[in-house]
Amino acid sequence: MADSPISHHSGEQVDVPADPNASPEQRAQMEQAYQQMQRKLRITKMDEDIKHKIMVLSGKGGVGKSTVATGLALSLARKGMSVGLMDIDITGPNIPKMLGIEESDLNVEEGQIFPAIGPHGVKVISMAFLLEDPDKPVIWRGPIKLGAIQQFIGDVAWGELDALIIDFPPGTSDEPLTVSQNLPGIDGVVIVTTPQEVALLDSRKSISFAKTLSVPVLGVVENMSGYKIRGTASPGDEVTVIGPGGVPISASTDDDGTWSMTLDVFKSGGGAHAAEDLGVPFLGSLPFDPGIVRGGDDGVHRIVAEPEGDTALAFDGIVENVLETLGEGSGSSVRIT
Ligand SMILES: Nc1ncnc2c1ncn2[C@@H]1O[C@H](COP(=O)(O)OP(=O)(O)O)[C@@H](O)[C@H]1O
Ligand SMILES: [Mg+2]
């Protein structure tokens, strides 16, 4: 068994019948086998208890994977679903901070870890809760990392959930592989990308990675899409601004004198093109929203701060498409084999 970074309460007495002839080593082995068996049973139960398990991946870091993972979780939860969020980024866990719950502690009772509770009742598990100083990078040896992930999967008391969202470190690392090998019944992968043309390349990489994991691709989300600006002018006026790349963009004012337009800061449409080219569903785009950065810093998520804002509504649209791809609507997922 892999080393364990999370020590259980001593209350967890493994009740292996005493054998007077067993050596201490044999007894330790029996206890270990018993614990493994218990974990296997819990994982089997977890597969039944958690309806949908969704991994969030991207080809590279900084594209907003954790932002999308938390947004999906909150958007599902505010629809009334019971949702869990598993932060597998054990070297740089930032989900608790994004949700304003980094001061929470995980409770361990009878060998089971109880998740912290975020906004809208989202159950969160993250290594950030267990590190003395989550800002200090930790270098995990392979087997310890494996052990931590296995504990996150097998020893967490999630209870019954409609959906479990799993966030990963950047890139195609071994964490998604460990999860896909240890967690049965994964519905699929949501791929996060940016609007630039390189998005196609990155998404292609993520899709072939999903293929090596033998999990379906639920679709592509384009993050940091256009930036919306608004203003007022005389009703009926046309307003022109010089957009990115020096290209003029015009908008007409409404009857009340307001206008709005979307600036494609990083171009746009890369995600939709990538999805089309790669034959997977396009789940939608999220606007470039400085409020997301603020929310990440002050711990009030955009969906909580502005429940009816453009970003919150964009997440709701993406969630609708994810549910449809999962067969909760009329669509069906694309299985890559
Ligand atoms: N749509 C967006 N608009 C503005 N900033 C964003 C958006 N999405 C993510 N960010 C910011 O980009 C940075 C990286 O996002 P994060 O979700 O941590 O990426 P990843 O998990 O892929 O490394 C964060 O500072 C986050 O606040
Ligand atoms: Mg991240």
Shared domain check, 211 and 132: yes
Domain count, the chain: 2
Cα–ligand 2 centroid distance for 31 (angstroms): 36
Ligand number, closest to the Cα atom of 171: 1
pLDDT tens-digit readout, 25-49? 998 898 889 888 888 888 888 889 9
Q: Tell me if 148 is assigned to some domain.
A: yes
Q: What is the pLDDT of residue 243?
A: 79
Which of 67, 97, 225 to mutate to test ligand 1, by most ligand atoms within 8 A of the CB atom?
Answer: 67
Q: Tell me if 19 is assigned to some domain.
A: no
Shared domain check, 239 and 206: no
Shared domain check, 310 and 274: yes
| Neighbour-count burial of 18, counting CB atoms closer than 10 A to its CB (0-12 exposed, 13-18 middle, 19+ buried) | exposed
Q: Tell me if 331 is assigned to some domain.
A: no
Cα–ligand 1 centroid distance for 63 (angstroms): 6
Shared domain check, 45 and 124: yes
Rounded Cα gap, residues 68 and 57, in angstroms: 10
Shared domain check, 253 and 273: no
Cα–ligand 2 centroid distance for 92 (angstroms): 7
The whole domain housing 239 covers 227-263
Domain boundary (263, 290, 311) is at: 263
Shared domain check, 243 and 321: no
Check if the beta carbon of residue 19 is closer than 8 Å to that of residue 127: no
Shared domain check, 79 and 216: yes
- Max distance between CA atoms of the chain, in angstroms, equals 93
- Phi/psi of residue 154, each to 5°? -95, -20
Q: What is the DSSP string of 2-63?
A: ---SSPPPTT----PPP-TT--HHHHHHHHHHHHHHHHHHHHHHHHHHEEEEEEEEESSTTS
Q: Tell me if 336 is assigned to some domain.
A: no
Rounded Cα gap, residues 331 and 95, in angstroms: 30
Ligand number, closest to the Cα atom of 202: 1
Query: Sign of the C-alpha dihedral, residues 143, 148, 149, 151?
Result: positive
Minimal-distance CA residue to ligand 1 atom 9: 64
Residues near ion ligand 2 (CB < 5 Å) are 65-66
Q: What is the pLDDT of residue 191?
A: 94
Q: Is the CB of 225 under 6 A from ligand 1?
A: no
Q: Tell me if 177 is assigned to some domain.
A: yes
Over the range 96-125, which residues count as b (16 or more CB within 10 Å of their CB) and which as e? bbbbbbbebebebeebbbbbbebbbebbbb
Q: Tell me if 332 is assigned to some domain.
A: no
Which of 293, 302, 306 to mutate to test ligand 1, by most ligand atoms within 8 A of the CB atom?
Answer: 293
Residue 58 alpha carbon, nearest atom of ligand 1:
22
Minimal-distance CA residue to ligand 1 atom 19: 64
Shared domain check, 74 and 39: yes
Q: What is the pLDDT of residue 18?
A: 66
Q: What is the pLDDT of residue 96?
A: 94
Residue numbers in the chain where pLDDT is lower than 50: 1-3, 7-12, 330-337
Shared domain check, 201 and 254: no
CATH number of the domain within which 269 lies: 3.40.50.300
Shared domain check, 206 and 87: yes
Shared domain check, 72 and 125: yes
Q: Is the CB of 286 under 6 A from ligand 1?
A: yes
Q: Tell me if 17 is assigned to some domain.
A: no
Shared domain check, 232 and 250: yes
- Phi/psi of residue 11, each to 5°? -60, -20
Residue 296 alpha carbon, nearest atom of ligand 1:
27
Q: Is the CB of 1 under 6 A from ligand 1?
A: no
Q: What pTM value is reported for the model?
A: 0.86
Q: Is the CB of 206 under 6 A from ligand 1?
A: no
Q: Is the CB of 67 under 6 A from ligand 1?
A: yes
Q: Is the CB of 62 under 6 A from ligand 1?
A: yes
Q: Tell me if 219 is assigned to some domain.
A: yes
